[in-house]
Amino acid sequence: MNDFTKDMANALFNQDKINDLFRQKLQQAVNDLLESELTAFLGYNPYERDGWNTGNSRNGAYYRKVDTQFGQIEIKVPRDRNGEFHQHTMPDYKRHTDVLEQTVIKLYSKGVTTREIADLIEKMYGGYYSPAMVSNISKEMIPKVEAYHQRHLSDKFFCVYLDATYIPLKRVTHEREAVYIAIGIKPNGHKEVIDYCIAPTENIEIWSEMLKGFKRRGLEQVELFLSDGVVGMKEAICQSYPKAHFQRCLVHV
């Protein structure tokens, strides 16, 4: 996800930086969706051999300026050689839209599992594309989410906060689910969202897997972990980081 949550943490206390961050991410996400639409329409990715002799191909793009609540963004609308492609991400000829921000924010907020990505894309494009094309669009976004969760981590954090909060989600069986989040402070004082995940409830097994994942991805040393009083947290930390200190959050104490 291009370290979106890391950038968000850095910009958290500066409204101008937050607006600029959302404007950049909004522009990137809309352009990614437009390119994904054309890929789904044509049935092949750029430069793939599957596109040879299909009778249609990519043919550049034209640009549009769109005003959003975060500032003006530049949209790159791709074209096909036969002139048959019609995008549905942006309303035609409209220079401002509130729906655009809501759609992209939902894309990021639901971009945790492949099922949720596919669900959102299907709602957006289900009336225009076949199930196979919807699947192609989904596949375009999945690597961005997975790359964030698999990125290499810094080798050392001075302090790591571990906590989970419950938020409403539209599910078949659960109205509220737990968002696990780990925020680290580096020796130079910089904060970073290390990782996050979503599960129906908070339990120590998921925290244990997250801690083991941090170790596999390069985080070798943590001086101090802070958490609430979830049962088994101290033992789970000791398994992955036996030299780290543990302190219960003062707010929870």
Query: CA-based diameter of the chain, in Å?
Result: 68
Q: Which pLDDT belongs to residue 111?
A: 47
- Among the residue ranges 6-20, 42-56, 97-111, the one predicted with the least confidence is 97-111
Q: Which pLDDT belongs to residue 142?
A: 73
Report yes or no: 100 and 71 within 8 Å, Cβ to Cβ: no
Q: Per-residue pLDDT tens for 130-158?
A: 556 556 656 666 777 788 899 999 999 99
d(CA 96, CA 87): 17
Mean pLDDT, residues 185-211 taken together: 91
Q: Which pLDDT belongs to residue 214?
A: 96
pLDDT greater than 60 at residue 112 = no
Q: Per-residue pLDDT tens for 60-102?
A: 888 888 877 677 888 888 888 888 888 877 766 555 444 544 5
Mean pLDDT, residues 2-16 taken together: 54
Token pair belonging to 40:
């789904």
State the DSSP string of 2-64.
Answer: TTHHHHHHHHTT-HHHHHHHHHHHHHHHHHHHHHHHHHHHHTS-TT-GGGTTSS--EEEEEEE
Percent of residues in the chain assigned helix, strand, coil, to nearest 5: 40, 25, 35
